[in-house]
C-alpha cells in the first residue's frame, strides 16, 4: 500500500486545477443504462472509484471506453447482457447501488447486491428501495441481493423522503424518467450533483423540473436518446484545496471554482479570517491578516455546510485561535481523523456527534493512518502546516477521490511525495 510523506514548508502560492465531480460522475455513468444510444461524459475525474463504476457497467455488458487519459468516458448499453450487479464489485463501492433504478426502469427487473456499510456509517439503502416501490417496483431481499421487478414497467408516483438522501434521490430520479406518468419526489436532495444529473438526463430527452429544489417533478417518456455531457466541477475537491492556503498561509487560486458551489463553506472561511475572491479563472484564497479564528460548524444537506468537508475543516481549526465545535449530523461515525490529528498534537474531544477543537500553536509531523476518503486528505492538509514530516499510510482511500494529489500540491510549493507500497 502506498504512503504519502508531507513536510511542512510554509506558505503556498500558485494555481490548482479542479477536476470534474466524483459524486456527479458516479451517478452520471449509470445513466447510460437508461438508453441504448451512446452517452459520453467529458471533464470526468481520473479516480479509482470511476474505474470501479466502469468495471461494474462492463460486468453488465455495457461498453465503456475512456479517452484523453480518462477525462472522456464513452459508454453504450445497447447490448446489455445482464441485469445483475455482483457483490464482489458492489462491496468495493457503495455508489454501485445507483445501477438499480436505471436497470429496473429500462429492463423491468434487476438484481443488485446490497452495498453493506463502510467506515463512516451503516449507510442503509432503505430510502432507495421505498422510492422505487412508490413507482410500483416489487422488491425482495434475498441472500444479500435486492431482487427488483416492475412487470409492465414503472408507474409515476409520489414519494416524500423522510430525510434527505443524495443517492436515493438520484436512483429515483433516473428511474422516474422512463416511468409511465408523472413522478413527484418531495424532500429531494438539492446538491449540485443532482442538478448536474438532471441536466444530463434532460440532454437525453427526459422531462424534469425542480431539480435543485426539494421537490422534483418528472414526466416519464418512452425512451431516452444519447448525449454528451460535461461533468460539473468537484465542489469537495475545490473546498479541500481552498483549505491549503488557509492552513499554510500564502495565496492559491483553484481553477474553475465558483462560490455558488460552496456558499455556506465560503461563509465559514470568511468567518475564520480567509478572503475568497471569485474571478473568471476561479476562486483565490488567502488569509486576510495572518490569524485564523475558531469557527463553529454544523454539517447539513446542501445548501448547508458539506459533511464531505468536515474533516478537512477540522484540520484548519486545529491551529485556530480559540475553540470551535464541529457537529456532524449526516453520518454516525465521521470523526476518525480526530485521533490521527491528536497524534500530531491537536487538542480535540469527541462526544457523540460533536467534536470540540481547542486551537494549539502548531502541529507536529507524525506517522498517521488514513481511514476513509475525506479523513485521509484532512491528514495531508494538517501535514502541510505541521513542523517536520507526516507519513500518511493507506492512501488508497485518497486515490478514490483525489486525482494526482501530490502533483497538484507540489505545484503550489508543498513538499509532498508518494512512497510506493512494498
Task: Name the phi and psi angles at 312, rounded to 5.
Answer: -65, -40
Cis peptide before 303 (omega within 30 of 0): yes
Interface with ligand EPZ (CB under 6 A): 23, 26, 94-95, 121, 123-128, 163, 165-168, 307-308, 330-331, 373-374, 401
Looking at beta carbons only, is 168 or 341 nearer to ligand EPZ?
168
What residues are annotated to the active site? 118
The CB-of-27 to ligand EPZ minimum distance in angstroms stands at: 7
Using the Cα atoms of residue 329, residue 332, residue 338 and residue 340 in order, give the sign of their dihedral.
negative
Sequence-distant (≥ 6) Cβ neighbours of residue 340 within 8 angstroms? 368, 369, 371, 375, 379
In 3D space, the residue among 300, 309, 170 whose CA is nearest the CA of residue 235 turns out to be 309
Q: In terms of C-beta density within 10 A (0-12 exposed, 13-18 middle, 19 or more buried), how is residue 14 classed?
A: middle
- C-alpha grid cell, residue 272: 475564520
Nearer to ligand EPZ by Cβ, of 111 and 193: the residue is 193
> Cβ neighbours of residue 222 under 8 Å, at least 6 residues apart?
178
Q: Judged by CB, which is closer to ligand EPZ: 94, or 337?
A: 94
**Shortest separation between residue 300's beta carbon and ligand EPZ, angstroms:** 10
Residue number, 12 or 380, with CB nearest to ligand EPZ: 380
3-class DSSP state of 300: coil
Distance CA(363)–CA(380), nearest Å, equals 12
Q: What is the nearest approach in angstroms of ligand EPZ to the Cβ of residue 50?
A: 11
Quote the least distance from Cβ 24 to ligand EPZ, whole Å.
8
Closer to ligand EPZ by CB, 68 or 260: give it: 260
Nearest-approach distance from CB 126 to ligand EPZ, in angstroms: 5
Query: Minimal CB distance to ligand EPZ: which residue?
Result: 167
Amino acid at each position: 500500500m502506498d504512503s504519502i510523506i508531507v513536510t511542512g514548508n510554509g506558505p503556498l502560492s500558485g494555481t490548482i486545477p479542479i477536476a470534474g465531480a466524483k459524486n456527479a460522475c458516479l451517478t452520471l455513468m449509470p445513466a447510460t443504462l437508461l438508453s441504448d444510444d451512446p452517452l459520453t461524459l467529458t471533464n470526468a475525474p481520473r479516480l479509482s472509484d470511476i474505474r470501479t463504476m466502469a468495471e461494474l457497467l462492463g460486468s453488465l455488458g455495457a461498453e465503456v471506453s475512456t479517452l484523453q487519459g480518462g477525462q472522456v468516458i464513452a459508454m453504450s448499453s445497447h447490448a446489455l447482457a445482464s441485469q445483475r450487479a455482483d457483490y464482489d464489485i458492489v462491496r468495493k463501492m457503495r455508489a454501485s447501488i445507483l445501477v438499480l433504478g436505471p436497470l429496473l426502469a429500462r429492463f423491468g427487473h434487476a438484481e443488485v447486491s446490497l452495498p453493506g456499510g463502510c467506515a463512516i456509517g451503516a449507510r442503509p439503502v432503505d430510502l432507495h428501495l421505498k422510492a422505487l416501490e412508490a413507482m410500483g417496483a416489487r422488491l425482495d431481499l434475498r441472500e444479500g441481493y435486492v431482487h427488483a421487478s416492475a412487470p409492465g414497467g414503472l408507474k409515476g408516483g409520489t414519494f416524500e423522503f423522510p430525510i434527505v438522501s443524495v443517492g436515493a434521490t438520484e436512483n429515483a430520479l433516473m428511474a422516474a424518467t422512463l416511468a409511465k406518468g408523472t413522478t413527484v419526489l418531495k424532500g429531494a436532495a438539492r446538491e449540485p450533483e443532482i442538478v448536474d444529473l438532471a441536466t444530463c438526463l434532460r440532454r437525453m430527452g427526459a422531462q424534469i423540473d425542480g431539480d435543485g429544489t426539494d421537490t422534483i417533478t418528472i414526466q416519464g417518456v418512452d425512451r431516452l436518446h444519447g448525449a454528451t455531457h460535461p461533468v460539473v466541477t468537484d465542489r469537495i475537491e475545490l473546498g479541500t484545496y481552498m483549505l491549503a492556503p488557509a492552513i499554510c498561509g500564502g495565496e492559491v487560486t483553484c481553477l474553475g471554482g465558483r462560490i455558488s458551489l460552496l456558499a455556506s463553506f465560503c461563509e465559514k472561511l470568511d468567518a475564520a479570517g480567509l478572503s475568497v475572491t471569485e474571478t473568471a479563472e476561479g476562486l483565490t484564497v488567502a488569509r486576510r491578516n495572518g490569524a485564523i479564528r475558531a469557527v463553529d460548524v454544523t454539517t447539513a444537506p446542501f445548501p448547508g455546510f458539506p459533511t464531505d468537508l468536515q474533516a478537512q475543516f477540522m484540520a484548519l481549526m486545529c491551529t485556530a485561535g480559540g475553540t470551535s465545535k464541529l457537529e456532524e449530523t449526516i453520518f454516525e461515525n465521521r470523526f476518525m481523523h480526530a485521533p490521527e490529528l491528536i497524534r500530531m498534537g491537536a487538542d480535540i474531544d469527541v462526544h457523540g456527534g460533536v467534536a470540540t477543537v481547542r486551537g494549539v500553536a502548531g502541529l507536529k509531523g507524525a506517522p498517521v493512518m488514513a481511514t476513509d476518503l475525506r479523513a485521509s486528505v484532512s491528514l495531508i492538509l494538517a501535514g502541510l502546516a505541521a513542523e517536520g514530516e507526516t507519513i500518511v499510510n493507506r492512501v488508497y482511500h485518497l486515490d478514490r477521490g483525489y486525482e494526482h494529489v501530490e502533483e497538484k500540491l507540489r505545484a503550489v510549493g508543498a513538499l509532498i511525495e508518494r512512497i510506493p507500497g512494498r
